[in-house]
Amino acid sequence: MVRVFPFSGEPEDMAWYPGVILLSGEKADKTQITHLFQFPYNLLSELPGIFQTNVPIQRVVYLLYPFDFDKMTVSEVTEISRIG
């Protein structure tokens, strides 16, 4: 996980999807997204101060489904679709 964006509450019109939701600063193709998950990951015990902001940030949102949570990676059958 690169960044965490916690919510203080659940928006009423929130749609929940299975799999992984990826927030990207730019458009990406399947090769670029798959490459993101080929690196070891470190879990954060707390959110770094730099990410604690109320400034709106424009992001491209992708749904990765199905996602291999055991290996934390994109599998051969993972479909990547842009949301929104």
More confident residue, 7 or 39: 39
Return the domain boundaries, the chain.
20-39+57-83
Strand order across the 20-24 sheet: 20-24, 60-65, 79-83
Percentage of residues in the chain having pLDDT higher than 70: 64
- pLDDT over 70 at 25, yes or no: yes
Question: pLDDT grade, residue 45 (50/70/90)?
Answer: confident
Question: What's the pLDDT at 6?
Answer: 62
Q: Please, which pLDDT band fits residue 78 given cuts at 50, 70 and 90? A: very high
Instruction: Report the candidate in 60, 83, 2, 8 with the shortest Cα–Cα distance to residue 35.
Output: 2
The pLDDT of residue 72 = 82
